[in-house]
Amino acid sequence: MQNNVLILDFGSQYTQLIARRVRELNIYCEIHPYNKIPENLEPFKAVILSGSPFSVRAEDAPHPDLSQIRGHKPLLAVCYGAQYLAHFNGGSVEASDIREFGRAKLSMIKAEEDFFKDIPENTNVWMSHGDTIAKLPENAVRLASTTDVLNAAYRIEGEETYAIQFHPEVYHSTHGKQLLENFLVNIANVEQSWTPAAFVDTTVASLKEQIGDGKVVLGLSGGVDSTVAAILLNKAIGKNLYCIFVNNGLLRKNEFESVLHQYKDMGLNVKGVDASERFLKALKDESDPERKRKAIGNAFIEVFDDEAHQVSDVDWLAQGTIYPDVIESVSVNGPSVTIKSHHNVGGLPDFMKLKIVEPLRMLFKDEVRRVGKEMGIDPELLGRHPFPGPGLAIRILGDITAEKVRILQEVDAIFINGLRKWELYDKVWQAGAILLPVNSVGVMGDERTYEKVVALRAVESTDGMTADWVNLPYEFLQEVSNHIINRVKGVNRVVYDISSKPPATIEWE
């Protein structure tokens, strides 16, 4: 795979956004921590320095050696990056009286510069900094200002080095993407060849080479990532890919059968394993959310291990890991780098000792969908809401019984089908129903009832880290509530969850 752009991360909350904007320009890029600059810089055609929560004046702030980069590669320094270049090259950075956060207007733009091609005077830019560049570094030319920040953009004479105080990666910077394009395409001459089709071609070719005649097992979940990973591997190695789709009995109504059918239609070599009873047994009398998760995780490992043993001479375990799980994050509490901890190798089940293949490890979620679309995967499957691994177990508060699962599956199906019928499904990021561990009094006909309460939850989000409840139409809620109470035996009350995350979470457990 061709590396094109190197993004050095100084710990900014926006670093991943820079990468996504660059990828949207069909340019491949990789994020590396500032203190692990790749030794071989050959493949990188340009470098971007990210922002940071640090002040460049702080003693423990990131101070990497850029001597192999500056002046050798086109360089764009964003926010902290811009201050870093100024601070150590004859300029000065000071604490500002005015901390600038939020929208600002970029003015006195040097319109004749390629860097600002097609970017108008007074365009909105997003600022997020406490310090300010009081004096530009040596040989710098100011390119733009804002009302509060004189040195909002500069370049270094005689080098392809550009620096900006604002964040082009944030959507509020109206021409941010144009600016990245100006730098990467017009100044650094980076090719815009990173397309889903190119990704599929190069990945299939490299999987073929990597795996050869080896056998691969992969656990399908019904979600987007594992499905796209399976289709890529199927293209590369066909029947040597052994997919295992486990029914834990906690999926949505009819989901196991219908998704298994879809997988077979896609030509996958897939085995459906109905282990509902085993999971239900493992969950018996368990009410604590974390213990439920553990019980399900352990049961899954047992089932998967049994199944993987049925395939003789397996060499590889495939996983649908995506880029946000892989990026090493820069710790803001110190210059050290935190890496995700790994399992204790000694006690691992056999399948975990296999070699790992992760075809999606360099993709963001939206890119996984684009690759899936490119390979002809059903758009309905690609647009499916996220669904937690422990499934309905964490939406049944308290202990779990087969009857509670049945009730919740019915309620959830009415809600989700209703969203589809009202064309609201794609406007919602995630939706589901929760079975509460309380009964409430109701009246049906002349009878007093004392039955279950369910909550409906629908949220808007981009990555699940924060979320807002969705303002669903009253008429819709009315119809769904009527259907649920009339059709699902055991439920006599429906409520709608109007909590945002934070402070609430998306799931109730």
Residues that bind ligand XMP (CB under 6 A): 293, 386, 388-390, 430, 464, 501, 505-507
Our CB check for ligand XMP shows the closer of 214 and 388 to be: 388
Sign of CA dihedral 69, 70, 74, 80: positive
Residues 7 and 32 sit within 8 Å (Cβ to Cβ): yes
Nearest 5°: the CA angle 135, 77, 365 is: 150
Q: At what angle do helices 289-310 and 276-283 cross, to 10 degrees?
A: 150
Our CB check for ligand XMP shows the closer of 83 and 248 to be: 248
Decide if 167 is catalytic.
Answer: yes
- Give the nearest distance from C-beta 404 to ligand XMP in angstroms: 18
Residues 192 and 27 sit within 8 Å (Cβ to Cβ): yes
Give the Cα separation of 353 and 345 in Å (integer).
Answer: 8
Our CB check for ligand XMP shows the closer of 399 and 497 to be: 497
Give the Cα separation of 311 and 318 in Å (integer).
Answer: 14
Decide if 72 is catalytic.
Answer: no
- Give the nearest distance from C-beta 430 to ligand XMP in angstroms: 5
- Give the nearest distance from C-beta 281 to ligand XMP in angstroms: 20
Element (H or E) spanning 225, and its range? helix 224-237
DSSP, collapsed to helix, strand or coil, labels residue 169 as coil
**Nearest by Cα to 219 from 356, 340, 371, 347:** 356
- Give the nearest distance from C-beta 348 to ligand XMP in angstroms: 20
Q: Among 100, 169, 255, 410, which one carries the catalytic annotation?
A: 169
- Give the nearest distance from C-beta 416 to ligand XMP in angstroms: 14
DSSP, collapsed to helix, strand or coil, labels residue 10 as coil
Our CB check for ligand XMP shows the closer of 64 and 388 to be: 388
> What is the phi/psi pair of residue 37, to 5°?
-65, 125
Give the Cα separation of 143 and 131 in Å (integer).
Answer: 19
Give the Cα separation of 463 and 173 in Å (integer).
Answer: 20
Q: Among 30, 87, 100, 167, which one carries the catalytic annotation?
A: 167
Our CB check for ligand XMP shows the closer of 349 and 389 to be: 389
What is the set of active-site residues?
A: 79, 167, 169
